[in-house]
Amino acid sequence: MSKFDDAVAKYVAEAKKLNLDVSTGLISTVAKGLGPVIYNADSELVSTSDKAEMDRVRDSFLVKKLGLAAGPELDKAIKEVTDKMGSSNRSKYRVLFYALLVKKFKKESVYA
Segment 27-78, tens digit of pLDDT: 999 999 999 999 999 999 999 999 999 999 999 999 999 999 999 999 999 9
pLDDT exceeds 90 at position 1: no
Segment 95-106, tens digit of pLDDT: 999 999 999 999
Report yes or no: 74 and 68 within 8 Å, Cβ to Cβ: yes
Partners of 58 in the β-ladder? none
Instruction: Provide Rg for the chain, Cα atoms.
Output: 13
The closest alpha carbon to 68, from 32, 96, 99, 107, belongs to 107
pLDDT category of residue 87 using cuts at 50, 70 and 90: confident
pLDDT category of residue 112 using cuts at 50, 70 and 90: confident
Locate the domains of the chain by residue range.
3-111
Partners of 45 in the β-ladder? 93
Give the percent of the chain with pLDDT over 90. 93
Average pLDDT, the chain: 95
Per-residue b or e along 16-32, where b marks 16 or more CB atoms closer than 10 Å to that residue's CB: eebebebeeebbbbbbe
- When the candidates are 1.20.1260.10, 3.30.420.40, 3.10.20.30, 1.10.238.120, the CATH number that belongs to 3-111 is 1.10.238.120
